[in-house]
Amino acid sequence: MRSPERLVIASRESRLALWQAEHVRAALQQLYPQCAVSVLGLTTRGDQILDRSLAKVGGKGLFVKELEQALLDGRADLAVHSMKDVPADLAPEFTLAVTMKREDPRDAFVSSTYAGLADMPAGSVVGTSSLRREAQIRKRYPHLQIQPLRGNLDTRLRKLDAGDYGAIVLAAAGLKRLGLAERIRNVLTPSESLPAAGQGALAIEIAAGREELREWLAPLGDAETTACVLAERTVSRDLGGSCTVPLAAYAVIEAGQLRLRACIAQVDGSGMLEAELTGKPEEAESLGRRAADQLRAGGADKIIAALQGQA
């Protein structure tokens, strides 16, 4: 197989997104030293609309559409995303070529005042952009106030430091990737806050049909992360998962077995439904479908219909 001569990576322009793109660029440069690899920075609608929650303005797709357009019109060969920002259903013009090795998938508690959610007194304000996190926090800590939190990672930290919130909850992976791990006061276990499908993993998206490009990118993939994320995203896809639904799905491989946990709830944490399945990693998609079926059997469709009626 011939080596690529030139590759262009499409990326959002936030500091974290550019770190992710540079991480991929460096990996490609190591694989193909003669290849000229560059990053094309783009601003997405999700980056521009900061005064409303994602659930109210169109969901996860707002972070990928401009990057996908660059793939279609030939300005870029690949796009790098946080996997949790990628819609569960991709348009047929695109394909996820690679799932890279996962960083810490857990949620992080960040505060200058409190050691953890359990230490926060009644009425304390917690900032989060995620209905999934909000539902799980409300279920465990109904005495806390949850307020929306938008903006890139640095903006969110500034709002915390300005005193707008008593604490904020973010993905641990982003903080660690930007060298901000010292800001984490407490990492929430999956039992405390089950992660979003794909959280902590990087996705590389390409235009469908570019098989040679897919082959060039294949060495960047991680088999274990790929299986886990496939199971998680299948749950989300089968339940029509979006930013309007507090849905979590998280898989790990232990002793050769894939263990998948999923949950869905109302935003206030009520009516939470949970599913847990174990099987072989090669059964990842089947496990995801079965987990979605379990949640549906418990009443997930009613929760989703109610939430969509409120949107």
Judged by DSSP in three states, 134 sits in helix
Amino acid at 114: Y
Judged by DSSP in three states, 33 sits in coil
CA gap 72, 89 in Å, rounded: 17
Helices 284-298 and 300-310, packing angle to 10 deg: 80
Torsion angles phi and psi, residue 253, rounded to 5: -110, 120
CA gap 26, 23 in Å, rounded: 5
CA gap 158, 154 in Å, rounded: 6
Token look-up 């969110």 returns: 156
CA gap 225, 96 in Å, rounded: 13
Q: What is the maximum alpha-carbon separation in the chain?
A: 62
Helices 15-31 and 153-161, packing angle to 10 deg: 140
Closest listed residue to residue 64, CA positions, set 77, 76, 81, 49: 81
Closest listed residue to residue 79, CA positions, set 28, 12, 15, 11: 11
Token look-up 């290849």 returns: 35
Question: Which H or E run includes 22?
Answer: helix 15-31
Question: Which H or E run includes 126?
Answer: strand 125-128
Active site residue 154: no
Q: Which among 77, 85, 104, 238 is annotated as catalytic?
A: 85
CA gap 173, 201 in Å, rounded: 9
CA gap 166, 143 in Å, rounded: 13
Give me the active site residues, please.
85
